[in-house]
Amino acid sequence: MKRLVSIGEAAKVLGVSITTLRRWEAKGKLVAEHTAGGHRRYDLTKLRPDLFRAGVDAARRTLAYARVSRHDQKADLERQKQVLELYCARQGWRFELISDLGSGMNYHKKGLKRLLDEVIEGHVGRLVITHKDRLLRFGAELVFAICEAKQVEVVILNQGEDTTFEDDLVNDVLEIISVFSAQLYGSCSHKNQKLLDDVKQAVEAHADCSQDRTAPNT
41 and 32 Cβ atoms separated by less than 8 Å: yes
Distance of CA 138 to the CA centre of its chain: 15
Q: Which residues pair with 67 in a beta bridge?
A: 100
Same domain, 128 and 146: yes
Q: How many CA atoms lie within 13 A of 87 on its CB side?
A: 20
Same domain, 88 and 118: yes
Question: The domain spanning residue 14 has which CATH number?
Answer: 1.10.1660.10
Per DSSP (E only), the strands in 36-171 are 40-43, 61-68, 95-101, 124-129, 153-156
Same domain, 144 and 82: yes
Among 113, 137, 156, the domain-final residue is 156
* Count of structural domains, the chain: 3
Sheet holding 124-129, edge to edge: 95-101, 61-68, 124-129, 153-156
| 173/178 Cα distance (integer angstroms) | 9
Same domain, 15 and 32: yes
Decide if pLDDT at 218 tops 50: no
Same domain, 115 and 199: no
The one catalytic residue in 6, 17, 69, 99 is: 69
Task: Tell me the whole-structure pTM to 2 decimals.
Answer: 0.54
Same domain, 82 and 24: no
pLDDT of residue 50: 61
- Longest pairwise C-alpha distance within the chain: 88
149 Cβ contact partners less than 8 Å away, ≥ 6 residues apart? none
| 92/9 Cα distance (integer angstroms) | 17
14 and 50 Cβ atoms separated by less than 8 Å: no
Distance of CA 211 to the CA centre of its chain: 27
Same domain, 119 and 178: no
- Residue 192: domain span: 165-214
Same domain, 42 and 109: no
69 is catalytic: yes
> Which pLDDT band, with edges at 50, 70 and 90, does 63 fall under?
very high
Decide if pLDDT at 32 tops 80: yes
Question: The domain spanning residue 69 has which CATH number?
Answer: 3.40.50.1390
Same domain, 60 and 43: no
pLDDT in tens, 71-99: 888 899 999 999 999 988 888 888 899 99
Same domain, 69 and 117: yes
- DSSP codes of every residue in 47-62: H-GGGTGGG--TTSEE
pLDDT in tens, 93-144: 888 999 998 876 677 889 999 999 999 999 999 999 998 888 887 778 888 9
- Give 163's DSSP letter: T
Same domain, 99 and 151: yes
Q: Measure Cα distances from 179 to 12, 185, 187, 196 in Å.
A: 57, 10, 14, 10
